[in-house]
Structure 1
Amino acid sequence: MARYPEEPRLSLPPGLVEQLTSQLPQVADAAVAAIIAEVPTYANALSGPMGQVIRDAVVLALGGFVQLGARGDRRSDRPAAASMEGAYQLGRGEARSGRSMEALLAAYRVGSRVSWRQMAVGLVRAGVDSATVAAYAELVFAYMDQLSDQSATGHRDETNESGRARQRLLDQLGRALLEGRSPEAVEALAARAQWEPPETLTAVLVPEAQGSVLLGLIAPSSLLVDDPAGRSVHSVLLVPDAHRSVLLRAVQGHAAVVGSTRPWLEVRSSYERTRRALELERESRSATLDTEAHLADLVVTADPEALGDLREQVLAPLAEMSESTRDKLVETLRAWLLHQGRRDAVAATLFVHPQTVRYRMGQLREAYGDLLDEPDFVRRATIALG
Structure 2
Amino acid sequence: MAESSGTTHRAARLELDERVARELRDRLPLVAGRTITAITAEVPSYSGALTGQMRDKIENAVQIALGTFLQLLERCQATDPSTPLIPALEAAYTLGSGEARAGRSMDALLAAYRVGARVSWREMAAATVAIGLPAATVAEFAELMFAYIDELSAASVAGHADELASVGRARQRNLERLTQQLLAGEPEDVLRRSAERADWAVPKTLTVVLLPRANLRGVLALLDERTLEGSEESSAGEPGEETAVVLVPDAHGDRRQLARVLHGRRAVLGPARPWIRASSSYRRVTRAVELGIAHPADGEPLDTERHLAELLLSADLEALADLRVRVLQPLAALPAATAERLTETLRSWLLHQGRRDDVAADLFVHPQTVRYRMGQLRQLYGERLSDPRTLLDLTVALALPATPPTG
Equivalent-residue separation in structure 1 for 2:272 and 2:261 (angstroms): 16
Equivalent-residue separation in structure 2 for 1:148 and 1:126 (angstroms): 29
- Residue 22 of structure 1 deviates from its aligned partner by 2.9
**Structure 1 residues 304-323: Cα deviation after superposition (integer angstroms, max 9, x where no partner):** 22222222222222222222
Residue 25 of structure 1 corresponds to 32
Residue 3 of structure 1 corresponds to none
CA contact (8 A) 2:14 2:73 kept: no
Structure 1's 377 and 109: CA in aligned 2 closer, same or farther, altered over 3 A?
Answer: farther
- Residue 93 of structure 1 deviates from its aligned partner by 1.4
- Residue 246 of structure 1 deviates from its aligned partner by 3.0
Residue 274 of structure 2 corresponds to 263
1:222 aligns with 2:233: no
Question: Which of 242, 246, 259 is the equivalent residue of 1:248?
Answer: 259
Equivalent-residue separation in structure 1 for 2:281 and 2:135 (angstroms): 74
Equivalent-residue separation in structure 1 for 2:279 and 2:397 (angstroms): 28
Residue 60 of structure 1 corresponds to 64
CA contact (8 A) 1:28 1:59 kept: no
Residue 146 of structure 2 corresponds to 141
Residue 313 of structure 1 corresponds to 326
CA contact (8 A) 2:24 2:127 kept: no
SS at structure 2 position matched to 1:261: strand
CA contact (8 A) 2:35 2:119 kept: no
Structure 1's 359 and 29: CA in aligned 2 closer, same or farther, altered over 3 A?
Answer: same
Tell me the amino acid that sits aligned with residue 271 of structure 2: S
Tell me the amino acid that sits aligned with residue 188 of structure 1: R
SS at structure 2 position matched to 1:327: helix
Structure 1: unaligned runs, 5 residues or longer: 1-6
Q: Over the residues paired in the alignment, what is the CA RMSD in angstroms?
A: 3.3
Question: Which of 218, 230, 247 is the equivalent residue of 1:238?
Answer: 247
Tell me the amino acid that sits aligned with residue 359 of structure 2: V
Structure 1's 122 and 189: CA in aligned 2 closer, same or farther, altered over 3 A?
Answer: same
Question: Which of 392, 396, 402 is the equivalent residue of 1:379?
Answer: 392
Structure 1's 241 and 283: CA in aligned 2 closer, same or farther, altered over 3 A?
Answer: closer
- Residue 203 of structure 1 deviates from its aligned partner by 1.4
Question: Which of 371, 379, 386 is the equivalent residue of 1:366?
Answer: 379
Equivalent-residue separation in structure 2 for 1:66 and 1:296 (angstroms): 82
Structure 1's 252 and 115: CA in aligned 2 closer, same or farther, altered over 3 A?
Answer: farther
Equivalent-residue separation in structure 2 for 1:63 and 1:329 (angstroms): 99
- Alignment of structure 1 residues 132-211 onto 2, 5 Å: 132-211=137-216
Equivalent-residue separation in structure 2 for 1:292 and 1:47 (angstroms): 61
**Structure 1 residues 325-354: Cα deviation after superposition (integer angstroms, max 9, x where no partner):** 222222222222222222222222222222
Residue 345 of structure 1 corresponds to 358
**Mean Cα displacement is larger for which, 305-314 or 45-54?**
45-54
Tell me the amino acid that sits aligned with residue 181 of structure 2: A
**Mean Cα displacement is larger for which, 277-286 or 23-32?**
277-286
Structure 1's 105 and 29: CA in aligned 2 closer, same or farther, altered over 3 A?
Answer: closer
TM-score by length of 2: 0.80
Equivalent-residue separation in structure 1 for 2:234 and 2:53 (angstroms): 50
Equivalent-residue separation in structure 1 for 2:373 and 2:173 (angstroms): 64
Equivalent-residue separation in structure 2 for 1:35 and 1:261 (angstroms): 51
- Residue 367 of structure 1 deviates from its aligned partner by 1.9
Structure 1's 85 and 8: CA in aligned 2 closer, same or farther, altered over 3 A?
Answer: closer
Equivalent-residue separation in structure 2 for 1:363 and 1:52 (angstroms): 101
Structure 1's 139 and 43: CA in aligned 2 closer, same or farther, altered over 3 A?
Answer: same
**Structure 1 residues 56-86: Cα deviation after superposition (integer angstroms, max 9, x where no partner):** 433432333355566699x968862221121
Equivalent-residue separation in structure 1 for 2:164 and 2:229 (angstroms): 20
- Residue 21 of structure 1 deviates from its aligned partner by 1.1
Structure 2: unaligned runs, 5 residues or longer: 1-11, 400-407
CA contact (8 A) 1:24 1:63 kept: no
SS at structure 2 position matched to 1:204: strand
SS at structure 2 position matched to 1:352: coil
Structure 1's 222 and 365: CA in aligned 2 closer, same or farther, altered over 3 A?
Answer: same
CA contact (8 A) 1:219 1:239 kept: yes
**Structure 1 residues 197-254: Cα deviation after superposition (integer angstroms, max 9, x where no partner):** 2221121122244445543442332222222667993222222223433322223222
SS at structure 2 position matched to 1:321: coil
Equivalent-residue separation in structure 1 for 2:342 and 2:47 (angstroms): 81
Equivalent-residue separation in structure 1 for 2:354 and 2:26 (angstroms): 105
Identity %: 48
Residue 4 of structure 1 corresponds to none
Question: Which of 281, 289, 295 is the equivalent residue of 2:308?
Answer: 295
Tell me the amino acid that sits aligned with residue 235 of structure 1: A
Equivalent-residue separation in structure 1 for 2:96 and 2:63 (angstroms): 16
Equivalent-residue separation in structure 1 for 2:165 and 2:308 (angstroms): 44
SS at structure 2 position matched to 1:203: strand
- Residue 142 of structure 1 deviates from its aligned partner by 1.0
CA contact (8 A) 2:295 2:302 kept: no
- Residue 355 of structure 1 deviates from its aligned partner by 2.0
- Residue 269 of structure 1 deviates from its aligned partner by 0.8
1:273 aligns with 2:284: yes
How many residue pairs get aligned? The number is 376
Residue 4 of structure 2 corresponds to none
CA contact (8 A) 1:79 1:143 kept: no
Residue 3 of structure 2 corresponds to none
**Mean Cα displacement is larger for which, 27-36 or 123-132?**
123-132
Tell me the amino acid that sits aligned with residue 329 of structure 1: L
- Residue 273 of structure 1 deviates from its aligned partner by 0.8
Structure 1's 218 and 79: CA in aligned 2 closer, same or farther, altered over 3 A?
Answer: farther
Residue 336 of structure 2 corresponds to 323
